[in-house]
């Protein structure tokens, strides 16, 4: 079989790896990386209300949520598009805490916490239907739901979530019914005016 032209035929042509160096010659240690490029975040990833949590390929949760569409237990006047949008973002956050892309387990845990599968208390379902209205087109509403879900419980397996669901939902409800968190104005070096976050349930 012929050899592709990009394959080296002599040892001298191979990449200069450790095994190809002369005896006694070593590669220098790698230099440390520092955030000195334009746009690098010197203090690390910002955290706080409505800022979210970055993760790899988190948008795949939007595809996975479509598999749950027929299983959703929606309250009267609740739209599937709003429910799926919030489920997807909560699943994205769960996956990001593990440093990986979303999987179906993330979506199922998010739907379980929010009461869209395996049933929910009728009072919670009615309250949820009111609070989730318009979430499919409102970033602030979706982020508010993500911030309200307790992070430690969000990382639990579904089997460990079930006995804690009443407490988790009570904490979600308390967080979303309370006043909106205070958010400092965003300083972008004078490029735009400072932005303040308004309460979630205001139009």
Residue 27 inside a domain? The answer is no
Confidence (pLDDT) at 49: 78
Residue 126 inside a domain? The answer is yes
Confidence (pLDDT) at 118: 86
* Axis-axis angle for helices 165-177, 139-148 (nearest 10): 130
Residue pair 155/94 in contact by the 8 Å Cβ criterion: yes
Count of CB atoms within 10 A of residue 133's CB?
Answer: 15
Helix-, strand-, coil-residue percentages of the chain, each rounded to 5: 45, 0, 55
Q: How many domains does the chain have?
A: 1
Per-residue pLDDT of the chain (203 residues; tens, 9 = 90+): 677 776 766 655 555 566 667 788 777 777 787 878 888 777 777 777 778 788 889 999 999 999 999 999 888 889 999 999 999 999 999 999 999 999 999 999 999 999 999 888 889 999 999 999 999 999 999 999 999 999 889 999 988 989 999 999 999 999 998 744 444 444 444 444 434 444 444 44
Residue 182 inside a domain? The answer is no
Residue pair 141/135 in contact by the 8 Å Cβ criterion: yes
| Domain, as residue range, for 157 | 60-177
Residue 125 inside a domain? The answer is yes
* DSSP code for 7: S
Confidence (pLDDT) at 31: 78
Residue 171 inside a domain? The answer is yes
> Tokens in use for 196?
């303040």
Residue 92 inside a domain? The answer is yes
Residue 89 inside a domain? The answer is yes
Residue 111 inside a domain? The answer is yes
């Amino acid at each position: 079989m012929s050899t592709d032209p990009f394959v080296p035929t002599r040892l001298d042509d191979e990449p200069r790896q450790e095994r190809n160096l002369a005896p006694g010659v070593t590669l220098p240690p790698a230099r440390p990386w520092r955030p000195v490029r334009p746009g690098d975040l010197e203090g690390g990833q910002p955290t706080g209300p409505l800022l979210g949590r970055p993760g790899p390929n988190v948008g795949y949760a939007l595809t996975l949520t479509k598999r749950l569409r027929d299983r959703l237990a929606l309250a009267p006047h609740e739209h599937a598009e709003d429910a799926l949008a919030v489920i997807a973002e909560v699943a994205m956050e769960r996956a990001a805490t593990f440093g990986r892309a979303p999987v179906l387990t993330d979506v199922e845990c998010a739907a379980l916490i929010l009461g869209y599968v395996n049933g929910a208390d009728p009072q919670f379902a009615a309250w949820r239907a009111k609070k989730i209205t318009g979430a499919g087109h409102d970033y602030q509403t979706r982020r508010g739901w993500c911030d309200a879900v307790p992070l430690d419980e969000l990382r639990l397996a579904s089997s460990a979530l079930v006995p804690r669901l009443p407490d988790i939902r009570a904490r979600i409800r308390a967080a979303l019914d309370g006043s909106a968190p205070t958010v400092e104005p965003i300083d972008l070096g004078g490029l735009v005016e400072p932005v303040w976050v308004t309460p979630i349930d205001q139009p």
